[in-house]
Structure 1
Amino acid sequence: MGHIHAGQDAQHRAAGQVVIAAIRERELSVDECLKAVRGPAVGGVAVFVGTVRDHDGGRDVAALEYTAHPRAGGEIARVAAGVAAVHPVRAVAVTHRVGLLGVDDIAVVVAVGATHRAEAFTACRRLIDDVKEHVPIWKRQVFPDGSSEWVGAC
């Protein structure tokens, strides 16, 4: 019970689709991504929401500024399609915000709908990890004293 057979697994992979893959300058909606990946064949939805925290590396943080390369929109779509193609999921959605964000603002939303929860969790983790690794979006931390630094920049 609850096991996917090889034929069913291939069917589920073929059904996976990217319903949202976007870089946005406006506030992100968790509900938009959640609703986008739900459906009658979906038995589990996994959602990851990344927010701006008030500290990093022992320092207080006042804000984050995200900047995207012009090809970031295409890359986020490519990454989402890659996850949908190799995981037995029904639908994936991912939005990433750019611009100046304050503490507690939502920076990224990832949602995955699958027939079973385990597949949803696995694909959701892969999707956020791949977005962070492959999509050319950079962040600059702004500190309360007005100084700033780029995170991960050489």
Structure 2
Amino acid sequence: MGTEIRVQQDDFSVADEYQQLAQESSCGAVVTFAGLVRELAEGQLDAMTLEHYPGMTEQVLADLVAQARGRWQLGQVTLIHRVGRLALNDQIVFVGVAAPHRKAAFEAAMFIMDFLKTQAPFWKQEHTTDGSYWVAAKDTDQAAATAWQDD
């Protein structure tokens, strides 16, 4: 039962990451999530730049995985977040969770994503046909994280 945290510019292979998670014989479930750069509702997205606070970012991500381990029985957990300039449809984030049972794997993956969006020190700048701007935190992301406190 290990944890792999990577903050990187390079893309990742969902298939390769899944294969690593599926190696664990004590786990009956593997859940993966890959987030992509998507089109904006209010304008034409050309690219996105993600910045982070090196050292602190990895620690926050490790803390999120540790919190998930405190709630659910988990096997291997892999968390990858890309930084740098990304184009439309590029992969941004990967969360992979192996667990003995599916419910724990699904819930832990959702928990990690919900808190990653609100606690990890990443900054997103969107580049559109109308110019570039830094993205503010969303109330919906905070509400998703807050909902876990009721559990």
Q: Secondary structure at the match of 1:90?
A: coil
Q: TM-score, normalised by structure 1?
A: 0.81
Unaligned runs of 5+ in 1: 1-15
Residue type of the alignment partner of 1:94: L
State how 1:114-133 maps to structure 2 within 5 Å: 114-133=99-118
For this pair of structures, how many residues does the alignment match? 135
Contact preservation (8 Å) 1:52, 1:107: yes
Q: Deviations over 1:52-84 (max 9, x none)?
A: 01224x212111110001211222122122212
Aligned mate of 1:102, from 87, 98, 103: 87
How far apart, in 2, do the equivalents of 1:79 and 1:35 lie? 23
Which of the numbers 35, 58, 66 marks the counterpart of 1:81?
Answer: 66
Partner residue, 1:47 = 32
43, 57, 75: which is aligned to 1:59? Answer: 43
Match of residue 151 from structure 1: 135
Identity of aligned residues (%): 28
Q: Deviations over 1:97-124 (max 9, x none)?
A: 0000000100000011111111111111
The separation in 2 between residues aligned to 1:28 and 1:79, in whole angstroms, is 21
> 1:135 deviation in Å?
0.8
RMSD: 1.5
| Structure 2, gaps ≥5 residues long | 138-151
Equivalent residue, structure 2, for 1:90: 75
Higher-Rg structure is 1
TM norm structure 2 = 0.82
Do residues 137 (structure 1) and 107 (structure 2) align? no
